[in-house]
């Protein structure tokens, strides 16, 4: 956790919601911070690794970032507008554990996302 990481966290706190690396970079630049795009990408990656921010994808594939809510959760993402709902994955946790056991896997993690069109789109 270094200075750049903290800057990014600060921007994400203030903006709320999702933002792309390029947008976050522009915001910092606009605020007079001379931070480089490379550093923005590095900081975001490190924050994702530390599970401090979530990384999702916009419809066009661009990566978007947001501060993690607490705890383990999954996402329900609208393909139209990008609106995202954090959901619990109770059934998934069991499924992952069961499948892993069945095939003798240990130290398991899993990913699961649901994509669709929200009621507005």
Partner DNA sequence: TATGGAAATGATAATCATTTTCATTTGTGA
Partner DNA sequence: TCACAAATGAAAATGATTATCATTTCCATA
Residues making contact with DNA (CB under 7 A): 2-4, 20-22, 34-39, 41-43, 45, 60-63
Q: Minimum Å distance from CB 4 to a copy of itself?
A: 22
Record the tokens describing residue 96, joined without a space.
């992952």
How many Cα atoms are found within 13 Å in the side-chain-facing hemisphere of 92? 14
Q: Which is nearer to DNA, 39 or 84 (CB)?
A: 39
Quick one: what does residue 67 bind among DNA, a copy of itself, none, with the CB cut-off 5 to 8 Å set by partner type? Answer: none
Q: Which is nearer to a copy of itself, 50 or 105 (CB)?
A: 105
Rounded Cα distance between 43 and 80, Å, is 28
Record the tokens describing residue 57, joined without a space.
């994808």
Burial 38-73 (b: 16+ CB within 10 A, else e): ebbeebbebbeeeebbbeeeeeeeebbbbbbeeeee
Q: Does 42 bind a copy of itself (CB under 8 A)?
A: no
Quick one: what does residue 96 bind among a copy of itself, DNA, none, with the CB cut-off 5 to 8 Å set by partner type? Answer: a copy of itself
Q: Does 57 bind a copy of itself (CB under 8 A)?
A: yes
How many Cα atoms are found within 13 Å in the side-chain-facing hemisphere of 46? 15
Contact footprint for a copy of itself (CB under 8 A): 56-57, 59, 61-63, 76, 78-79, 85, 87, 89-92, 94-96, 99-100, 103-119
């Amino acid at each position: 956790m270094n200075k750049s990481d903290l800057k990014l966290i600060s921007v994400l706190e203030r903006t709320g919601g999702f933002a792309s690396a390029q947008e976050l970079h522009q915001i910092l630049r606009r605020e007079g911070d001379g931070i480089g795009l490379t550093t923005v990408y590095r900081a975001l990656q490190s924050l994702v690794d530390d599970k401090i921010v979530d990384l999702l994808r916009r419809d066009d594939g661009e990566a978007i970032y947001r501060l993690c809510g607490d705890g383990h959760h999954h996402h329900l993402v609208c393909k139209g507008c990008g609106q995202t709902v954090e959901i619990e994955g109770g059934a998934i946790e069991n499924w992952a554990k069961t499948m892993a056991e069945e095939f003798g896997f240990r130290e398991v993690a899993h990913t699961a996302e649901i994509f669709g069109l929200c009621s507005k789109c």
